[in-house]
Amino acid sequence: CITGCLALGILNAEGIWAACEGDSRSLVSMTVIGELTRQPVFMVNPSRLYPGENKVVFAHCILPLNMAPEYRLTTHFESGLGISVAADFEPGACTVFKCKDDFETFYAADAQLLHSMHESNLCRTQMELVIPSGLDYFTTRPIANHHMIVLGHHQALVEEFFNSYQA
């Protein structure tokens, strides 16, 4: 089994937006947030929700190689084969984002990355975030499974972009 995780991590590090699993709708979200912020974009799955604490664990096996200070190559989570990327992040500001490909609906939230994780039952790069605005979006009306994370707080920038686009 050959996975595209490493190749996509390299492409994304070079500024060539590339989403995995053939998810062209997420590629739209990745391109929007990447071009707005000029930051590398981590495409993630929300893997665990803690609504009472406003915490979410996000994980995926594809990570732009220039997003974390260091990374290591390991096996792909679901298959146990191929090569994927695992990395650790320092605690800090980040933004969670997703938009529909018609640009009519979007989600953007400033968040705080609490810590990286290393659980064997999740995709290889894992992080726990707190989203102060709450998790109602994830528990009631998420746009889709894959979401995008960029470092730094950019919610206001995203909202300004979509408000000007929809005007």
Domain that holds residue 139: 5-166
Q: How confident is the model at residue 124 (pLDDT cuts 50, 70, 90)?
A: confident
pLDDT at 1 over 60: no
**CATH (domain of 118):** 3.20.14.10
Q: What residues contact residue 63 under an 8 Å CB cut-off, 6+ apart?
A: 9, 42, 71, 85, 86, 87, 125
Number of structural domains (the chain) is 1
Q: How confident is the model at residue 75 (pLDDT cuts 50, 70, 90)?
A: low
pLDDT at 94 over 70: yes
Phi, psi of 166 (to 5 degrees): -85, -10
pLDDT at 79: 60
Task: Report the chain's C-alpha Rg in angstroms.
Answer: 15
Please give the Cα distance from 31 to 53 (Å, whole number).
30
pLDDT at 120: 83
Please give the Cα distance from 41 to 104 (Å, whole number).
21
Between 123 and 86, the higher pLDDT residue: 86
Which pTM does this prediction carry?
Answer: 0.94
